[in-house]
Amino acid sequence: MIVEAENKSQTDKANLEVFAQTLEELAATDRDVVVVTSDSRGSGKLIGFGQNFPAQTVEIGIAEQNLVGVAAGLASAGKKTFAVSPACFLTARALEQIKNDVAYSDNPVKLIGISAGVSYGALGSTHHSLHDFAVLRAINNLVIAAPADNYETIEAIRLAAKSNHPIYLRFGKKVMPKLSCDQSFEFGKGRIVREGCDIALVATGETVYPALQAAEILEQENKISAMVISMHTIKPLDYDLLESVAKKCKAMITIEEHSINGGLGEACASFLLQNNLSLPFKIMGIPDEYTVTGSQTEIFEHYGISKAGIAKEAVALLK
């Protein structure tokens, strides 16, 4: 069985941290790269960016609606604009600005939801973003992605900087082990991080790693071959991959750090059902309630988003 520590290398970092480093690298050679923050330089690991690139840093203060509107104005004037704010506030308080000023006006803002999902843990539900995939999925013209490891994060930021269209990325604060996968990162293309044929574990963001751990348990303890996919892009969803996986595997579980309503799971279910791809299917995420108090890890454990919890669901689904 894999022990978490064994898979982590000394060089693994939180996705949030490599996001900030990548942005500094980009800003060093491109003065159009601009960061807009809402008193979130500290939590966004952007203090260094602000010190090194003061002319490319716009501090708005705690005013997320204005953060997104100003970012849209900057982007429309040619700036490669990263609007960085805790995911919980960015995608709720500023939703109308995201809808109109970013997506509808097609201003290429890169919306960065930091400390996403339940990263803030015991700070409670005001600080959790378990709604962002759901509300943003219903908005046209917005790529939505949750990179799983440092590699996916770096590539997502680099591609986002080049994109002429709106993108929403969300990251957590936890150190994420590098996934073993040769497939390069591309928005809208899921990455198979472990091959398997009995069950597909389709996960996103920081739930990919526990899914991978669950796959190891399933193989060693239950002789179940589990495929694990990092479905980093929630929209546009990789329908081709889903179809091939649904035809190959006997069952599918989706796993996300999000409400079970309206996120990755329901997006997958919608596609499968409408395309006559029928297989035992389970959505794992946060149920429709305000979460139990705890750290991110404790909340994950509580709701079964853990190696043991996911493995248990897989065994049950295949019975």
Partner 1 sequence: MTEKELAIKSVEYRKKILKYIYAAKAGHTGGSLSCIDILNVLYNHVLHVSPQDFSSPNRDRYIQSKGHTVEALYVVLADKGFFPESDLETLCKYKSHYIGHPTKKVHGVEQNTGALGHGLSLSVGNALAAKMDARSYRVFTLLGDGELPEGSNWEAALTASHYKLDNLCAIIDHNKLQISGRTSEVCNTDPIDEKFESFGWAVKHVDGHDFKALTEAFDSIPFEKGKPSLIIAHTIKGKGISYMEDQLKWHHGVPNPEQYAQAIQELEAAIVN
The least distance separating partner 1 from the CB of residue 109, rounded to whole angstroms, comes to 9
Question: Considering beta carbons, is residue 28 or 308 the nearer one to partner 1?
Answer: 28
Rounded to 5°, the CA angle 231-205-262 comes to 70
- When the beta carbons of 34 and 167 are compared against partner 1, the nearer one is 34
96 forms part of the interface with partner 1 (CB under 8 A): yes
Using DSSP bridges, classify how beta strands 110-114 and 167-170 pair: parallel, antiparallel or unpaired: parallel
Query: Between residues 83 and 228, which has the closer beta carbon with respect to partner 1?
Result: 83
77 or 308, CB closer to partner 1?
Answer: 77
| Closer CB to partner 1, 77 or 316, in the complex | 77
User: What's the closest the beta carbon of residue 110 comes to partner 1, in angstroms?
Assistant: 14
**Smallest distance, partner 1 to C-beta of residue 78, A:** 6
Other CB atoms within 10 Å distance of the CB of residue 178: 16
Nearer to partner 1 by Cβ, of 65 and 297: the residue is 65
Query: CA-to-CA distance for 306 and 253, rounded, in angstroms?
Result: 13
Measure the CA–CA gap between 252 and 129, rounded to whole angstroms.
25
Q: Does 135 bind partner 1 (CB under 8 A)?
A: no
CB of 85 to partner 1, least distance (A): 13
Considering only residues 99 through 128, tell me which ones interact with partner 1, judged by CB under 8 A. Answer: 100-101, 104-107
Which among 96-104, 114-122, 168-176, 251-259 is the span making contact with partner 1, rule CB under 8 A? 96-104
Please state, in angstroms and rounded to a whole number, the distance separating the CA atoms of residues 317 and 319. 6
The CB-of-235 to partner 1 minimum distance in angstroms stands at: 20
C-beta of 79 vs 173, nearer to partner 1: 79
- 211 phi/psi in degrees, rounded to 5: -65, -40
State the nearest-atom distance from the C-beta of 69 to partner 1, in Å.
3
Site for partner 1, residues 34 to 93, rule: CB under 8 A: 34, 55-56, 58, 60-61, 63, 65-66, 68-79
Q: Which amino acid is at 52?
A: N
Q: Contact 159/121 with Cβ under 8 angstroms?
A: no
Contacts of 50 (CB under 8 A, 6+ apart): 35, 37, 41, 57, 59
- What span, in angstroms and rounded, lies between the C-alpha atoms of 242 and 200? 9
CA-closest candidate to residue 201, choices 287, 318, 319: 318
Phi, psi of 51 (to 5 degrees): -75, -40
Please tell me the count of residues contacting partner 1 according to CB under 8 A. 29
Instruction: Please choose, from the candidates 238, 234, 250, 265, the residue with its C-alpha nearest in 3D space to the C-alpha of residue 314.
Output: 250
Whole-number minimum distance, CB 63 to partner 1, in Å?
A: 4
Cis peptide before 236 (omega within 30 of 0): yes
Residues that bind partner 1 (CB under 8 A): 34, 55-56, 58, 60-61, 63, 65-66, 68-79, 96-97, 100-101, 104-107
